[in-house]
Amino acid sequence: MKLLDGIKNYFRKPKIGNVYAVTAGQYLGEFLVYIETKGGHLMFLSLPDMKVRNISESDVESGLDDNILDKVESLPDDVFAVCKAQYYKTLQTPESDANVPSNNTSKD
C-alpha cells in the first residue's frame, strides 16, 4: 500500500503550469495558475483578477486533499508563457490595476 500511496502523492502534487479552481475559502471562485515556488510557498497568478497569491505548501496540499483546490487543466506552453509574463509584471507593481489588461482604457 505504501507504493500506491507514493504514486498517488506524486500525481497529486501541484505542477507548474497547472490551473486549479478554488471551490471554498478565501479565494473561492478564483482560478490559480501555479507559476513557481519561493521559500516553501507556492506562487500563483489568480484569474481573472491577475493578482499574485502566495500560499504555503502545506495549505496547498491540504486544499488538494480536501478538494478545495481542483485541478482544471495543464496550460499549453504559449498560454502559460502569457500567464507567467503577467505574474512577473504584477510582482513589479502589485497594487496597480494597470496590470490587468481589461482595466486599461484608451482615450480615442
The pLDDT value recorded for residue 106 is: 38
pLDDT at 2: 56
User: If you write DSSP's letter for every residue of 30-71 in order, what string do you get?
Assistant: -EEEEEEEETTEEEEEEETTTEEEEEEHHHHHHHHHTTSEEE
Longest Cα–Cα distance of the chain, Å, equals: 65
Task: Kindly give the confidence (pLDDT) of every residue in the chain, 108 residues in length, as a single tens digit, with 9 standing for 90 and above.
Answer: 555 554 444 456 899 999 999 999 989 999 999 999 999 899 999 999 899 999 999 999 999 999 999 999 999 999 999 999 999 999 988 665 555 554 443 344
Under 8 Å between Cβ of 83 and 99: no
The CATH number fitting domain 2-96, selected from 1.20.272.10, 3.40.50.720, 2.30.30.30, 2.60.40.10: 2.30.30.30
Kindly list the domain boundaries of the chain, sorted by start residue: 2-96
Supply the pLDDT for residue 98: 56
- Amino acid 51: pLDDT: 93
Q: Provide the pLDDT for residue 13.
A: 82
pLDDT tens, 67-88?
999 999 999 999 999 999 999 9
